[in-house]
């Protein structure tokens, strides 16, 4: 049986605007969708809700996107533009550039927690212009480091897989905190005593928790991220040697 042709919002022919079609731009749709996603998460986004947010009927939205999958392609590519992609010209610059890009990628996911679940679902197999630019510039960083093009792809994938994996877990916590209606500090202060009690039968966890207060635990995410990223980059540097 023949496989279905791959479809994407970026590859299908654009529709010609009809004279009677409501004046609703793709940019308006994407902006409204991101607003809904940031507020309520991926599962809450529907074409009907988006139409209400825009003050337009859902059929007006469908003029620009065929379905929710195409809408997700557009919003994902839009937020990829938030990531700063350093250009490197000297080999000595590659690690600082990779560190900066990884931090920006993580920051983007934490600003838009729904991106964690989205990337886990669709991966990095998207075709939007911002995604293409990001991928090309990441390859340039690791090529400048001294990797072959294929190895640069492996190195880039290793780093971004680490970033997406850890940041997606952080994003899930961000979403949970938002749903609680508490600040991050108040949520941690509420959860921390319960975690300490659960760890009482486990000596290493108890000792670890004793090293932190609830406030310190809330601030350890950067430390954990930086440590893991350094380990990944150390491994890549060792392969170059």
pLDDT tens per residue, range 33-56: 999 999 988 888 888 889 888 887
pLDDT, position 22: 54
| pLDDT at residue 112 greater than cutoff 90 | yes
Q: Regarding predicted confidence, which is higher, 213 or 166?
A: 166
Joined together, the tokens standing for residue 172 give 């899930």
Joined together, the tokens standing for residue 176 give 């949970």
Long-range contacts of residues 225-234, Cβ cutoff 8 Å, at least 24 apart: 225/103, 225/106, 225/166, 225/167, 225/170, 228/162, 228/166, 229/99, 229/102, 229/159, 229/162, 229/163, 232/158, 232/159, 232/162, 233/95, 233/98, 233/99, 233/159
**Burial of 236 by CB count in 10 Å (0-12 exposed, 13-18 middle, 19+ buried)?**
buried
Walk me through the domains of the chain, giving residue ranges and CATH numbers.
Answer: 1-80 (1.10.10.60), 81-240 (1.10.357.10)
d(CA 39, CA 33) in angstroms, rounded, equals 10
What confidence tier does 4 reach under pLDDT thresholds 50, 70, 90? Answer: low
> What 8-state DSSP symbol labels residue 8?
-
Joined together, the tokens standing for residue 45 give 């986004």
**Burial of 228 by CB count in 10 Å (0-12 exposed, 13-18 middle, 19+ buried)?**
middle
pTM here is 0.86
CA 51 to chain centre: 25
Residues 101, 107, 111, 117: is their CA dihedral positive or negative? positive
Q: Rounded to the nearest 10 degrees, how much is the dihedral formed by the CA atoms of 185, 186, 190, 191? A: -40
| pLDDT at residue 19 greater than cutoff 60 | no
pLDDT, position 14: 66
SS3 97: helix
Q: Rounded to the nearest 10 degrees, how much is the dihedral formed by the CA atoms of 233, 235, 237, 241? A: 180
pLDDT, position 122: 65
DSSP sequence for 18-45: PTTS----HHHHHHHHHHHHHHH-GGG-
| pLDDT at residue 215 greater than cutoff 70 | no
| pLDDT at residue 124 greater than cutoff 70 | no
d(CA 119, CA 184) in angstroms, rounded, equals 24
Joined together, the tokens standing for residue 215 give 């406030």
């Amino acid at each position: 049986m023949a496989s279905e042709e791959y479809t994407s919002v970026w590859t299908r022919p654009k529709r010609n605007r009809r004279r009677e079609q409501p004046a609703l731009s793709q940019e308006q749709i994407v902006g409204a969708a991101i607003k809904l996603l940031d507020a309520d998460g991926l599962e809450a986004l529907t074409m009907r809700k988006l139409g209400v947010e825009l003050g337009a009927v859902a059929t007006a939205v469908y003029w620009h996107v065929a379905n929710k999958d195409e809408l997700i392609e557009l919003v994902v590519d839009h937020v990829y533009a938030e990531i700063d992609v350093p250009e490197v010209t000297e080999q000595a610059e590659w690690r600082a550039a990779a560190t900066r890009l990884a931090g920006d990628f993580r920051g983007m996911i934490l600003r838009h927690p729904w991106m964690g679940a989205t990337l886990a679902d669709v991966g990095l197999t998207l075709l939007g212009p911002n995604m293409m630019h990001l991928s090309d510039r990441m390859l340039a960083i690791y090529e400048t480091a001294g990797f072959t093009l294929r190895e640069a792809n492996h190195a880039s994938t290793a780093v971004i897989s680490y970033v997406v994996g850890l940041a997606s877990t952080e994003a899930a916590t961000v979403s949970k905190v938002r749903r609680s209606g508490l600040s991050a500090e108040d949520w941690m202060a509420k959860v921390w005593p319960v975690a300490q009690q659960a760890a009482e039968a486990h000596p290493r966890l108890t000792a670890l928790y004793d090293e932190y207060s609830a406030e310190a635990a809330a601030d350890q995410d950067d430390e954990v991220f930086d440590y893991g990223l350094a380990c990944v980059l150390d491994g890549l540097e060792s392969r170059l040697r």
